[in-house]
Amino acid sequence: MSDSKLLSLSRAIARFVPDSSQVVMGTSLETFIPFAAGHELIRQRKRDLTLIGPISDILFDQVVGGGCVHKIRAAWVGNVITGSGYNFRRAVEGGTIEMEDHSNLTVSMALRAGAMGVPFMPARTALGSDLFKTNTSLKVISCPFTGDTLAAVAAINPDVAIIHVQRADEYGNAHAWGNLGITREACMASRHVIITAEEIVSPDVITSDPNRVITPGFRVSAVVHAPWGAHPSPVPGYYNRDHQGFIDYRTASKTSETFADWQARWVDAVHSSDDYLRLLGEERVAELALNHHVIPEAVDYGY
């Protein structure tokens, strides 16, 4: 059996996310957003990061507000419920971060190319769009077989992927179910993978259902037990999306001063999952509990 990869969140981020890293997060779109890990980036005052993701919700805005970001490679950054991400907007308008504009599909294909070990992926996406004017990782090419005009999407190989899941064993094998988005591509394209999990379970639980393994354990550098580590985004089977949390953040991030107050309370003063849950409160936690369980049919892996 391999050595345990179980680390505290602070040790995992300190060890595998040095300054100037390229970090991919939020790969399942509006679910599984690794907020706990993102907040640890802010607490450790990481600097000059490049953030990579598809529809990158308020976590990117928070990490920008924390002063951690040099560049973003994404399709969209903001607050899904309320629209604008105020820290992101201030940074772009102030010229303090670089932006590489993508569509959701070009981000997906760039990570797929990285996962496959090829320099680019040919595609028909984005042709005729303005993305080619601002994104140097996209090129117009001619197919060597048909002569068709195609887009070439350059590979992205992040330094680290930070992925939240429902459960993992201590060796890095992890189960995820629900909308996986481009999680598998991100894991396979990245040099390091940090898994944050709602539960740490025995390897027997993972091997009982191999189709749910999101990435092989040998590709994982660290496993972190992080209950409620994706709040306020939802985790299927564990808790619902906290719509009020996104609305509250909209109000708290309207100015740099109010964001600093939010960061002091919700990030800098929090050092564990227990701290976070106490701050969230028992009533709020209860409100986000599942109201309706949907259990899939069992499968038989017998031989």
pLDDT the model gives residue 52:
98
Classify burial at 259, counting beta carbons within 10 Å of its beta carbon; exposed 0-12, middle 13-18, buried 19 or more: buried
Summarised one tens digit per residue, pLDDT across range 39-57 is 999 999 999 999 999 987 8
pLDDT the model gives residue 90:
97
Residues 132 and 162: beta-carbon distance below 8 Å? no
Query: What is d(CA 146, CA 152) in angstroms, rounded to the nearest whole number?
Result: 15
pLDDT the model gives residue 83:
84
Closest CA to 187 of 200, 176, 198: 176
Tell me the pLDDT of the chain averaged across its residues. 96
Task: State which amino acid sits at residue 1.
Answer: M
pLDDT the model gives residue 170:
97
DSSP conformation class of 279 = H
What the chain holds in terms of domains, given with CATH numbers, is: 9-117+156-287 (3.40.1080.10), 120-154 (no CATH)
Helix axes 86-94, 58-65, angle to 10 degrees: 50
DSSP secondary structure string, 189-255? HSSEEEEEEEEE--HHHHHTSGGGBSS-GGG-SEEEE-TTTTTTS-BTTTB---HHHHHHHHHHTSS
Closest CA to 270 of 43, 32, 17, 29: 43
User: What is the Rg, in whole angstroms, of the alpha carbon atoms belonging to the chain?
Assistant: 19
pLDDT the model gives residue 2:
72
Contacts of 123 (CB under 8 A, 6+ apart): 105, 106, 109, 150, 151, 152, 153
Summarised one tens digit per residue, pLDDT across range 86-111 is 999 999 999 999 999 999 999 999 99
pLDDT the model gives residue 1:
55
Q: H helices within the chain, ranges in order? A: 9-16, 35-43, 58-65, 86-94, 104-116, 131-134, 183-189, 203-207, 243-252, 256-263, 273-280, 282-287
pLDDT the model gives residue 84:
87
Which segments of the chain have a pLDDT < 50?
none
